Structure 1
Amino acid sequence: MARKSRAEMMEETRGKLIAAARKAFADKGFAAASMDELTAEAGLTRGALYHNFGDKKGLLAAVVEALDNEMVTRADAIVQASKPASAWDELLAQGLAYIELALDPEIQRIVLKDGPAYLGDPSHWPSQNKCLHHSTQTLAKLIDDGVVKPMDAEAAARLVNGAAMDAALWVAASDDPHATLRKAQDALRHLMSGLLA
Structure 2
Amino acid sequence: MPPAKRAQTMAENRARLLAAARRAFAAQGFAEASMDELTAAAGLTRGALYHHFGDKKGLLAAVVSQIDEDMAVRARKAALGAADDWDALIVEGVAYIEMALDPEIRRIVLLDGPAFLGDPSQWPSQNACLDLTQQSLARLASEGRLKPVDVEAAARLLNGAALNAALWVAASEVPAVTLPKAVAAFKAMAAGLLAAPR
TM-score interval for Structure 1 and Structure 2 normalised by the shorter chain: over 0.9
Residue 68 (structure 2) aligns with: 68
Distance in 1 (CA, whole Å) between partners of 2:182 and 2:127 is 22
Distance in 2 (CA, whole Å) between partners of 1:3 and 1:62 is 24
Distance in 1 (CA, whole Å) between partners of 2:148 and 2:14 is 45
Give the deviation of 1:4 after TM superposition: 5.7
TM-score relative to the length of structure 1:
0.96
Q: Which runs of 5 or more structure 2 residues have no equivalent in the other structure? A: none
Distance in 1 (CA, whole Å) between partners of 2:68 and 2:123 is 10
Secondary structure (helix, strand or coil) at the match of 1:5 reads helix
Runs ≥4 residues deviating over 4 A: none
Residue 121 (structure 1) aligns with: 119
How many residues of Structure 1 are paired with residues of Structure 2 in the alignment?
A: 194
**CA, structure 1 residues 105+5, in 2 after alignment: closer, same or farther (shift >3 Å)?**
same
Distance in 2 (CA, whole Å) between partners of 1:27 and 1:70 is 19
Q: Aligned runs of 1:2-13 on 2, under 5 Å? A: 5-13=5-13
Structure 2 letter corresponding to 1:187: A
Structure 1 letter corresponding to 2:19: A
Give the deviation of 1:151 after TM superposition: 1.6
Give the deviation of 1:150 after TM superposition: 1.7
Distance in 2 (CA, whole Å) between partners of 1:85 and 1:187 is 21
Between the two proteins, what is the percent identity of the paired residues?
A: 62
Residue 184 (structure 1) aligns with: 182
Q: Does 1:106 align with 2:114?
A: no
Distance in 1 (CA, whole Å) between partners of 2:157 and 2:104 is 26
Q: Aligned runs of 1:1-197 on 2, under 5 Å? A: 5-80=5-80, 83-197=81-195
Q: Once superposed, what is the RMSD of the aligned Cα atoms?
A: 1.3
TM-score relative to the length of structure 2:
0.95
Structure 1 letter corresponding to 2:174: D
Q: Which runs of 5 or more structure 1 residues have no equivalent in the other structure? A: none
Distance in 2 (CA, whole Å) between partners of 1:86 and 1:138 is 10
Distance in 2 (CA, whole Å) between partners of 1:32 and 1:164 is 29
Structure 1 letter corresponding to 2:148: P
Distance in 2 (CA, whole Å) between partners of 1:171 and 1:4 is 45
